[in-house]
């Protein structure tokens, strides 16, 4: 920020320069340094600050989902959160991770190319120990995974990828698939060493064991959707109206909601003493109900249809003969909420 000097300050500055206390070359040099911005043409920035921020927001959702999923599966306290999101070359990423480690090659369908999910050995062996019945202690010896341990980690990574799909759902319908697991970073050359990537670093804690998970996405893979990596796009997609796809999803989910359906012959009030004294063969006379009257079908606690009893094969059934009322939107929401409780 530029400051305006007073006359006294100007006089003091001129006096200092005249006496040799301040050299004019040093003043000029300081001013010139402020105008210089260092830029490395060998590793140009491919992602803007807004895009990096959007990627961070997406993977914060991924971290929350992964925390819940792993806590339930491992029956242990698990905490995952985004530590940083950076852009660097693929070679720098490979050099920054240990050898051996757990590297999952992820197919990012429908995007082209692959990504890499790297799990720190301490976290890997803690998860394996926990699933094998141990206390979740990490291995003190850094070694390759056995065939059984690799199979166990495949199941963990596949479960994690389900959370990744949900976290990316506002941007693209991602269908990530685990291709293979490598332990040597040199064998995971998915892009040229100088290719720029975005690296999402996730601090992970399983019980008392701490480590890192790194999700590396090449620029070539994410380039087709780079314009969608903005907060404005994500918020607009959230606010978009009820599209056909969203309606179909809602219908599919509502179709699995269980709601009790009861065929009611009639009702009457009885004291607790009368109910306790009921025995097999007793007859309860229902007021205002005749033999030929239709029964009432109640959905939840609302009367919806009239029906008549009968048989279908060897099973008791009812036949709907009349609709009593239309279930409004507000009533339906109240009904679903009551059943959810």
Q: What is the CATH T-level fold of the domain 254-268+289-340, as seen in this structure?
A: Surface presentation of antigens (SPOA) (2.30.330)
Q: Which tens digit of pLDDT belongs to each residue from 98-150?
A: 888 999 999 998 998 899 999 999 899 989 988 888 887 776 777 888 889 89
Residue in 106, 210, 213, 212 with CA at minimum distance from that of residue 168: 106
3-state DSSP percent of the chain in helix, strand and coil, to 5: 40, 25, 35
| DSSP one-letter code for 121 | H
Rg of the Cα atoms in the chain: 33
- pLDDT for 241: 47
- CATH code 2.30.330.10 region(s) in the chain: 254-268+289-340
Confidence at residue 41, expressed as pLDDT on a 0 to 100 scale: 65
Residue reference for tokens 């599209």: 243
CATH of domain 49-240: 3.40.1550.10
Q: What is the pLDDT of residue 66?
A: 92
pLDDT for 328: 55
Ranges of residues in the chain with a pLDDT under 50 are: 1, 239-242
Can you read off the two tokens belonging to residue 325? 């009322």
CB 76, CB 189: distance < 8 Å: no
Residues counted in the chain? 341
Residues of the chain with CATH 3.40.1550.10: 49-240
DSSP structure string for 122-164: HHHHHHHHHHTTS--PPPSS--PPPHHHHHHHHHHHHHHHHHH
Main-chain phi, psi angles of 46, to 5 degrees: -100, -20
Distance of alpha carbon 179 from alpha carbon 114, whole angstroms? 9
Neighbouring residues of 322: CB distance < 8 A, sequence distance ≥ 6:
294, 305, 306
Q: What is the pLDDT of residues 193-223, one digit of tens each?
A: 888 899 999 999 988 888 899 999 998 888 8
Distances (CA, A) of 256 to 251, 336, 338: 9, 11, 16
The DSSP letter of residue 317 is: E
């Amino acid at each position: 920020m530029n400051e305006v000097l007073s006359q006294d300050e100007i006089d003091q500055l001129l006096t200092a320069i005249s006496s040799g206390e301040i050299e004019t070359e040093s003043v000029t040099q300081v001013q010139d340094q402020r105008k210089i911005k260092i830029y490395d043409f060998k590793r140009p920035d491919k992602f803007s600050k807004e895009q990096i921020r959007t990627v961070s927001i997406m993977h914060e959702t991924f971290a929350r989902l992964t925390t819940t999923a792993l806590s339930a599966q491992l029956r242990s306290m698990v905490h995952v959160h985004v530590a940083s999101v950076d852009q660097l070359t693929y070679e720098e990423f490979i050099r920054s991770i240990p050898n051996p480690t757990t590297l999952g090659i992820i197919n990012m369908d429908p995007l082209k190319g692959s990504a890499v999910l790297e799990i720190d050995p301490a976290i890997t062996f803690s998860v394996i120990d926990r699933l094998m019945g141990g206390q979740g202690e990490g291995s003190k010896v850094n070694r390759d995974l056995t065939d059984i341990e690799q199979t166990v980690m495949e199941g963990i990574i596949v479960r994690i990828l389900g959370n990744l799909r949900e976290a990316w759902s506002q941007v693209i319908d991602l269908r990530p698939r685990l291709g293979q697991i490598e332990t040597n970073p040199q064998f995971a050359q998915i892009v040229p060493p100088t290719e720029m990537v975005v690296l999402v670093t996730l601090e992970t804690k399983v019980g008392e064991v701490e480590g890192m998970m790194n999700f590396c996405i090449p620029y070539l893979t994410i380039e087709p959707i780079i314009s969608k990596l903005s907060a404005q796009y994500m918020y607009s997609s959230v606010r978009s109206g009820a599209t056909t796809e969203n309606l179909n999803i809602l219908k599919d989910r509502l179709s699995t909601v269980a709601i009790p359906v009861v065929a009611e012959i009639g009702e009457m009030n009885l004291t607790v003493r009368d109910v306790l004294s009921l025995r097999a063969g007793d007859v309860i006379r229902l007021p205002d109900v005749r033999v030929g009257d239709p029964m009432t079908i109640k959905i939840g606690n609302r009367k919806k249809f009239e029906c008549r009893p009968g048989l279908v094969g060897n099973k008791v059934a009812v036949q709907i003969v009349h609709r009593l009322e239309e279930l409004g939107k507000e009533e339906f929401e109240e009904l679903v909420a009551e059943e959810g409780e």
